Structures are given as structure tokens and as C-alpha cells.
Structure 1
Amino acid sequence: MSQARLWGFLPAGRKQRALPGFGLTMGLSISYLSLIVLIPLSAVLLKTTSMGWSAFWETISAARVLASLKLTFGMAALAAVINGVFGLILAWVLVRYRFPGRRLVDALIDLPFALPTSVAGISLAAIYAPTGWIGAWAQPYVGQIAFTPWGVLIALVFIGLPFVVRTVQPVLEELEQEQEEVSACLGADRFQTVSKVILPAILPACLTGVALAFARAVGEYGSVIFIAGNVPMVSEITPLLIVIKLEQFDYAGASALAVLMMVLSFIILLAINRLQWYLQARHSGQARSKAARVAAPFALEGAR
């Protein structure tokens, strides 16, 4: 018998836990969540309601705002898809292969996490500018990269790649290679093994990484403004418009744009999460059905 139960601190039959009970931990969680997330977001919503519906609609439907929203969400989605493809490939190489410099490459993936966004933006602008190393070489073939919408895409890909790699990498490490060997022994080619065995297992994690990369890209500011050019109606992102309205002391207009971005981001992330839950449930159901089919002959033989 434990000391706590012997002294009467725990009732008989109750399991001892290392952490306090549900009521205390739930209260602390809600309090922390309220201070960090709910109260600031509520303040933004209350500030937006003070301007009225007509003023709110006039603010969010302006041509300059719509152009910035199209650029921000469009490039964020494109960057998330690019990171989803190449982040998956990079995670696969790091997990399944051993090569010189592997640890260095693995450490460099976390560089966008530690690097200040302004430093990243200045570095990317210097490299992809018309006089930069990559910009001068690419300009005759693809045109100017920096100070255009393509510069925004480069910055968003740079800051979003680690989210996909670090989300998929642990899942690949836990994925047993015996499943691929069994698939090959049963006559499946490489494409069938990847599409039927590997992808269903890692797709929910890949979608999680894509969602995280998208969320980071939508709100990115520091690394984008140095390489975007910030030309209105061309290469101006919505976070920059919010900062401009704050500098003009238009706090209600800035809050309106913040609420709009928050609602759109929440809807897109909710759709991605629902797709992830569906794929995960489908993969679990298929795994259970396969296990049942494999175990059925043994169960019949045992019954006989």
C-alpha cells in the first residue's frame, strides 16, 4: 500500500496519479488558454464590432485588400503543397538512407526555426535579387524572382519546410520496413508499395505538416517584406496591410483585417483537419479489416 493511501490522502480503490486531478489541471489549462489565446482574440473581435457592419464590409472588400488576400492565401497554399512534396522526400531520405553529411543536413532543416525572420528575408533578397547569385543566373530563363510574387513564394517555402519534415520524420521512423518487404514478396511493384502501403500510413502526418506550414505562411511577415517588393495590388501581403493601418492609427481597420484572416484560416485548417481525421480513420479501418481477413483461416482451423 502506498504512503499516500496509508495516510488517508487517497480514497480506497482510487488509482494514484503523478499529476493532480482533472478539475485542477483543466482549470489551469483553460486559464492559460484564455490569457494567451481567447482574451486577445476577443479583444480583436470587440474592436471590430465597434466599426459597424457597413464599415467592416467596406474595409475588407477594398480592391487592395482583396489583392493582398489573394496573394497571401494563394502563395501560402502553393508553398504548403510544395513543402508537402519535397518535405516528404527529404524526410524519407533522412530516415531511410545513411550518407556523409546526413547529420549536418538534418540540423540545417531546423535553421528557419532559429533564424530571425528579418535575417532570412535579407538573405533571400540578396541571393534572389537580379544581382544575386541565383537571381542573376535565373533571370534570363524565368525572369526576376525577388521583389515579385515569386519572391513571396520563395520566402514562404523557406520558413514552412521544417514543419513538414519534422512532422513526417517520426512516423517514417516508426514505419516498419517489413511491411514493404511483405508487399514486394506478394508481387507488388514499387509504385504499388508506395501508394498502398507507405502513403496511407504517413498521409495524416503529412497533412498535419502541410497545415502547420500553411498556418505559418499565412501569418508570416518578417521574411516576406524584404523580398516581396511590397508593391500595392502586386506583391503586398495582408499582414503588411495590417501594419500599415496600425501606423495610420486605423485600429478598427487593422482589427477587421485580422478578424477576416482569422476566420479564413480557421475554415481552411478545419477542412484540412477533417480530411486528416477521415484518412486516419479509413486507414485504421482498412488495417483492421486486413487483420481480420488474415486471422479468419486460423480461427476456423482452431474451431475445427
Structure 2
Amino acid sequence: MLPLSRALLRRHSVLPGFDLALGFTLLYLSLIVLLPLSAAFMKTATMTWPAFWDAVTSPRVLASYQLTFSASLAAALLNVAFGLVIAWVLVRYDFPGKRLVDALVDLPFALPTAVAGITLTALYAENGWIGQHLPFKVSFTPLGVFVALLFIGLPFVVRTLQPVLEDLSQEFEEAAATLGADRWQTFRRVILPILAPALLTGFALAFARALGEYGSVIFIAGNLPLVSEITPLMIISKLEQHDVAGATAIAVVMLLLSFVLLLVINGLQAWTRQRQGQ
């Protein structure tokens, strides 16, 4: 009777079977992810090695790599710190306007990137509401790129941490306090190890989002050669010059570097979960 019941359950299940679901998953990923990536690699393969090397190591392209990866890394790290504070406040405290603050976190998700870039440029320009009070220049500098990447990456960290904090029982903190731990020791030895996988996930999402950002950065960066040009801009510039192979070459380098960095981050996540399990 038991095998018959299982067969009937599979036959009358609302969800599709494993074979159908797996086939649909592979087909969808192939059309949306693998096919475009394969096209980039195949187009790059039409170049000779000297042409490829010249395309991906020109001074402007190297400067764009440095700015893109350094600004993305710095923005993701800072977002992890402030995102943790914001998520903690939203989960652990009740205050007037809490729902409004919670909704504002999602603003970078809903706001078109071009609108975000124009708004940030207007705010941080030398005569802007914020920029006119600053002793240094933000718009049209690498610092402007950093500010834009902070803006678009924060929600990824906050939304990744919130569910984990909501499930985190305060009994752990009470037990640590009972054993004589102060607040800093409780956070460092009890809370932080539990949040570590979520922090790494939020960092990876914010970092990956920042690497490919274009719309919100292009306006505030100023796009000065060798100073504030990002790598996505170099790809667009190659396409506007009808140099498709050069554009795909730069894109392939970005893809490989991003893949290696994300692989390292995923390895750290797995190592952290293994330590927690032990």
C-alpha cells in the first residue's frame, strides 16, 4: 500500500515532477545565463592574443579595473558595517516612523538607477544641498563613485541580515550576560559568529551588484580618463566605437575576476558554517 500511495501522491501533486522541474531549470538557465556568457567568450575567441592583451591592458582599462574593484570592495565593506547597525535597529527596537525607515531601505531597489545617479550628483555637487557644506569635492571624482555604490548596495546587506536577526533568540544574549560577559563580549563571541554567514552573503551581494553598476555611477563619476572611469563605461565606449570584440574581451576579464572573488567568498561562507557546525 505504501508504494502505491507514494505513486498516487506523485501523480496528483500540484508541483511538477523532478524531471520536468530540472529540465525547465536547465533550459531557463541556459537561455538566460549560459547562452549570453558563451556568446561573450566566443566573440572574444575571434581575437588574436596580442589584440586581446592590448584591449584588456590599456592604461584607461587598467585604471577602470582599479577604480571599479577598489570602490566596490570599500562600499561593500562599509555597507556591511552600517547595514548591520540598521538591521539591528529595525529588528530589535520600536520607534516612531519605523515603517517609514524600513521602507526607505528598499528605495535603491525601486528607484531607476539613472534617477539615482542624477539625484546623487545634484546633492553632492559643489553647489548641492550636501556638497556645498563639504570641505572636499564628491561629484565628478572617484569619491562620487564610492557614494553611488554605497547607495545601491545597502539594501542587500540589510535585507539579508533582517531574517537572521528576527530568528535570533535573545536567550543567547541573556545566557552570556548571566555568565558575566559584557555587551562587547556578547556581540563578538555570541552574536557575530551566528551572523557571520549572513554578513558574508550580504557582502557578496553588495559587492557583485557594485561591480556591474552603471546607471547610478555614470552621472556622478564625471568619467574623467584615468581618474573616474568605471569598467562598465569602458565596455559601453567600445560598443559605441563598434569594437564588439574589445568590449567582450573586457567583459570576459571582469567576469573571470568576479567569479574568482565570489568563489573565495562562497568558500569563506562554507568554512564559517562548518565552524559553526563543529
Q: TM-score range by the shorter chain?
A: over 0.9
Aligned-residue identity in percent: 62
Secondary structure in structure 2 of the residue aligned to 1:99? coil
Structure 1 or 2, whichever has the larger Rg, is 1
Equivalent-residue separation in structure 1 for 2:12 and 2:85 (angstroms):
45
Q: Say which of 114, 119, 127 aligns to 1:118.
A: 114
TM-score (norm 2): 0.96
For 2:22, the equivalent position in structure 1 comes to 26
| Secondary structure, counterpart of 2:213 in structure 1 | coil
1:47 corresponds to: 43
Structure with the bigger RCO (C-alpha within 8 Å, sep 6+) is 2
Cα deviation digits, residues 120-168 of structure 1 (max 9, x gap): 0000000000000111100x3xx11110000000000000000000000
Is 1:135 paired with 2:136? no
Q: CA deviation at 1:14?
A: 7.3
SS in 2 for 1:90: helix
Q: Give yes or no for the alignment of 1:196 onto 2:189.
A: yes
1:235/1:13 CA distance change after superposition, 3 Å: closer
Q: How does 1:154-233 map to 2 (within 5 A)?
A: 154-233=147-226
1:8-23 alignment runs, 5 A limit = 11=7, 17-23=13-19
Partner of 1:93: 89
2-side partners of 1:218 and 1:87: how far apart? 19
Alpha carbons of structure 1 residues 135 and 245: separation in structure 2 relative to 1, 3 Å = same
Q: Output the CA distance in 2 between the equivalents of 1:265 and 1:95.
A: 32
Task: Report deviation, 1:15.
Answer: 9.5
Equivalent AA in structure 2 for residue 209 of structure 1:
G
For residue 58 of structure 1, report the CA deviation from its aligned partner.
1.1
SS at the partner of 2:130? helix
Q: What is the letter of the counterpart of residue 26 of structure 1?
A: L
Q: Which amino acid aligns with 1:99?
A: F
Secondary structure at 2:202's aligned position in 1? helix
Distance 1:17 1:94 in 2: 39
The one-letter amino acid paired with 1:277 is A
Structure-1 residue corresponding to 2:231: 238
Distance 2:50 2:28 in 1: 35
**Between Structure 1 and Structure 2, how many residues are aligned?**
278
Is 1:149 aligned to 2:142, yes or no?
Answer: yes
The aligned counterpart of 2:57 is 61
TM-score (norm 1): 0.88
Q: Check 1:198–1:38 CA distance in 2 against 1; reply closer, same or farther (3 A cut).
A: same
Equivalents in 1 of 2:222, 2:10: separation in Å?
A: 63
Instruction: Tell me the residue number matched to 1:74.
Output: 70
Whether the aligned pair in 1 keeps the contact of 2:108 and 2:151 (CA below 8 Å) is yes
> 1:15 and 1:79 mapped to 2: Cα distance?
50
Task: Tell me the distance in 2 between the aligned counterparts of 1:151 and 1:12.
Answer: 61
Structure 2 vs 1, CA of residues 15 and 181 (structure 1 numbering), >3 Å: closer, same or farther? farther
Q: Shift of the alpha carbon at 1:252?
A: 0.2
Superposed structure 1 runs of 4+ greater than 6 Å apart: 12-16
RMSD of aligned C-alpha atoms? 1.9
For structure 1, the residue ranges without an aligned partner over 5 or more in a row are 286-304
C-alpha deviation, 1:192, in angstroms:
1.0
Deviation at 1:21, TM superposition (A): 2.3
Gaps of 5+ in 2: none
Letter in 2 for 1:161: L
The amino acid across from 1:119 in the alignment is V
